[in-house]
């Protein structure tokens, strides 16, 4: 297929946390608010002059110093962020909206704060650490509203004079939804028999919406959507199977590239930094304050295994099945970051539940933070693709034999 017009531009934005659009927005008076997790309501970090930056550690090298402060048994994502923080890569941030979500990220944020990685330049800088419940009933929603109000919105207003009114929240939701609509429409091209966008390209676009001020990329997203409406796919399919990738944090486009180079086109991305559920629109009504509705939406739509109530576990399995159906996938790759406490349990169970109870072929993998060059992982994915092909061949033979009868 012909290269997307803005793909190279979006790729370059992912090479540095403090990318050119972040610098531009700050030069225009914007406030960069860092965060790491879906449980932090992203839309509330985009009020007024604020814009959210979901933290990554692009081009990560050694993590030796971070490992000293944490441990080799901590997930590499948390160690990579700490290493980059100590190198000064996040000094551009004006606040850090953290989440008490797992022991590894808690230690990461704790060390960042204790080591004073922001220095003394930004006097109004503040850290927050939300306590998020493990279910989603109304008492849990009230708790999240209190946490967000006290630990994020109040300091934004008191330190920086940010308007945190109901009308401002609704305005931020409207702007957020515009980006979500564009990403959803772009992603729907993956439902085609021969999709006109690859999983790698889509991941690049989605990642950019997490790490850049949205108002500075929305025009290019619109242009990309229009471009895809007339883009011609390759006449011969360059994939052997379609897969849904489900699991923990993936901000490494090279992992998606490795999967697709192995013959599996990634048609749906249900992982942290993916479009499900992070790029689904937020519906608001006029009967209740916007803050409560936003907090409820994030708490109820999360597909994180930290939410361990039985109905949430069932919800995640059902959602995975629905994505396979909606995007006409042949199987699921269930992945986790090495040493991730929550996803290790979820992945192990799902690798049995999905094939045995839902009839969905599943490949279960754990991986390092940067895994794009893993020969072992490539071999396992290639073997999975071959098994999917064999299954389709057997299904066709069975169908023909039934016709003969």
Same domain, 125 and 192: no
Mean pLDDT of 112-132: 91
Same domain, 204 and 58: no
Same domain, 181 and 294: yes
Same domain, 282 and 325: yes
Helix (H) or strand (E) run with residue 52 in it: strand 50-54
Chain centroid, CA 253 distance in Å: 12
* pLDDT tens digits along 42-77: 999 999 999 999 999 998 888 999 999 999 999 999
Q: Is residue 358 part of a domain?
A: yes
Q: Is residue 386 part of a domain?
A: yes
Percentage of the chain exceeding pLDDT 70? 100
pLDDT-derived band at 219 (thresholds 50, 70, 90) equals: very high
Q: Is residue 4 part of a domain?
A: no
17-21: which pairs have CB atoms within 8 A and are 24 or more residues apart? 17/53, 17/55, 17/56, 17/57, 17/58, 17/84, 17/89, 17/90, 17/92, 17/211, 18/89, 18/90, 18/92, 19/211, 19/212, 21/212, 21/213, 21/216, 21/217
What's the domain range around 154? 13-158
Q: Is residue 80 part of a domain?
A: yes
Q: Is residue 7 part of a domain?
A: no
269 by Cβ neighbours in 10 Å (0-12 / 13-18 / 19+) ranks as buried
* pLDDT tens digits along 370-400: 887 788 999 999 999 999 999 988 888 887 7
Same domain, 291 and 200: yes
Per-residue CA distances from 45 to 16, 74, 114, 147, 274 (Å): 20, 27, 24, 14, 18
pLDDT-derived band at 342 (thresholds 50, 70, 90) equals: very high
Per-residue confidence (pLDDT) for residue 178, from 0 to 100: 98
325 neighbors 286 (Cβ within 8 angstroms): no
Q: At what angle do helices 199-211 and 253-261 cross, to 10 degrees?
A: 170
Q: Is residue 363 part of a domain?
A: yes
For residue 144, give both structure tokens. 């999240």
Same domain, 209 and 137: no
Q: Which of 345, 325, 351 is nearest to 102 (CA)?
A: 345
DSSP 8-class letter at 188: G
Helix (H) or strand (E) run with residue 35 in it: strand 31-35
Same domain, 153 and 174: no
Per-residue confidence (pLDDT) for residue 164, from 0 to 100: 98
Write down which residue in 121, 137, 158 finishes a domain: 158
If one compares 120 and 22, the residue with the highest pLDDT of the two is 22
Mean pLDDT of 113-128: 90
Mean pLDDT of 27-36: 97
* pLDDT tens digits along 145-198: 999 999 999 999 999 999 999 999 999 999 999 999 999 999 999 999 999 999
35 neighbors 45 (Cβ within 8 angstroms): yes
Per-residue confidence (pLDDT) for residue 405, from 0 to 100: 63
* pLDDT tens digits along 16-28: 999 999 999 999 9
Per-residue confidence (pLDDT) for residue 374, from 0 to 100: 82
Write down which residue in 100, 131, 158 finishes a domain: 158
DSSP 8-class letter at 149: I
DSSP 8-class letter at 282: -
Write down which residue in 128, 158, 188 finishes a domain: 158
Per-residue confidence (pLDDT) for residue 197, from 0 to 100: 98
Per the prediction, the chain carries an average pLDDT of 95
Q: Is residue 349 part of a domain?
A: yes
For residue 116, give both structure tokens. 């004073």
For residue 215, give both structure tokens. 């108002």
Per-residue confidence (pLDDT) for residue 382, from 0 to 100: 97
Per-residue confidence (pLDDT) for residue 254, from 0 to 100: 94
Same domain, 316 and 378: yes
Chain centroid, CA 294 distance in Å: 18
Per-residue confidence (pLDDT) for residue 397, from 0 to 100: 84
Same domain, 395 and 260: yes
Same domain, 152 and 179: no
Same domain, 253 and 104: no
DSSP 8-class letter at 6: T
pLDDT-derived band at 328 (thresholds 50, 70, 90) equals: very high
246 neighbors 320 (Cβ within 8 angstroms): yes
CATH number assigned to the domain comprising residue 150: 3.40.50.11890
Q: Is residue 260 part of a domain?
A: yes
Per-residue CA distances from 322 to 244, 250, 317, 333 (Å): 10, 21, 9, 15
Least confident interval from 16-25, 90-99, 236-245, 368-377 = 368-377
CATH number assigned to the domain comprising residue 306: 3.40.50.11900
Per-residue confidence (pLDDT) for residue 263, from 0 to 100: 96
Same domain, 154 and 175: no
Q: Is the peptide bond before 277 cis (omega within 30 degrees of 0)?
A: yes
How many domains are there within the chain? 2
Q: What's the CA gap between 59 and 252, in Å, rounded?
A: 9
């Amino acid at each position: 297929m012909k290269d997307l017009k803005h793909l190279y531009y979006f790729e370059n934005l992912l090479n540095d946390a403090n990318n050119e659009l972040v610098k531009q927005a700050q030069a225009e008076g914007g406030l960069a608010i860092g965060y790491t997790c879906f449980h932090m309501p992203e839309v509330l970090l985009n009020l007024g002059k604020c814009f959210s930056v979901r933290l990554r550690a692009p081009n990560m090298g050694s993590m030796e110093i971070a490992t000293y402060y944490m441990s080799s048994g901590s997930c590499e994502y948390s160690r990579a962020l700490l290493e980059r923080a100590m190198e000064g890569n996040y000094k551009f941030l004006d606040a850090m909206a953290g989440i008490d979500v797992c022991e590894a990220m808690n230690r990461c944020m704790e060390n960042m704060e204790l080591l004073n990685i922001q220095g003394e330049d930004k006097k109004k800088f503040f850290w927050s650490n939300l306590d998020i419940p493990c279910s989603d009933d109304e008492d849990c929603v009230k708790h999240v509203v209190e946490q967000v109000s006290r630990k994020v919105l109040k300091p934004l207003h008191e330190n920086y004079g940010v308007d945190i009114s109901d009308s401002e929240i609704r305005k931020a939701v409207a702007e957020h939804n515009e980006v979500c609509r564009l990403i959803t429409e772009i992603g729907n091209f993956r439902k085609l028999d021969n999709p006109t966008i690859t999983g790698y390209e889509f991941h690049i676009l989605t990642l950019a919406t997490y790490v850049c001020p949205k108002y500075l990329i929305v025009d290019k997203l619109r242009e990309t959507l229009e471009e895809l409406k007339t883009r011609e796919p390759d006449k011969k399919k360059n994939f052997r199977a379609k897969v849904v990738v489900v699991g923990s944090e993936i901000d490494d486009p090279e992992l998606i590239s490795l999967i697709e180079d192995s013959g599996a086109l990634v048609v749906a991305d249900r992982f942290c930094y993916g479009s499900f559920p992070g790029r689904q629109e937020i519906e608001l009504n006029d009967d209740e304050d916007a803050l409560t509705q936003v907090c409820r939406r994030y708490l109820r739509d999360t597909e994180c295994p930290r939410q361990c109530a039985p109905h949430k576990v069932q919800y995640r399995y059902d959602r995975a099945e629905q994505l396979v159906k909606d995007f006409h996938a042949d199987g699921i790759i269930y992945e986790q970051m090495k040493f991730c406490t929550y996803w290790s349990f979820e992945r192990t169970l799902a690798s049995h539940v999905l094939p045995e109870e839902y009839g969905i072929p599943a490949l279960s993998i754990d991986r390092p933070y940067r895994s794009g060059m893993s020969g072992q992982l490539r071999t396992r994915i290639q073997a999975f693709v071959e098994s999917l092909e064999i299954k389709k061949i057997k299904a066709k033979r069975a169908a023909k034999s039934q016709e003969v009868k």
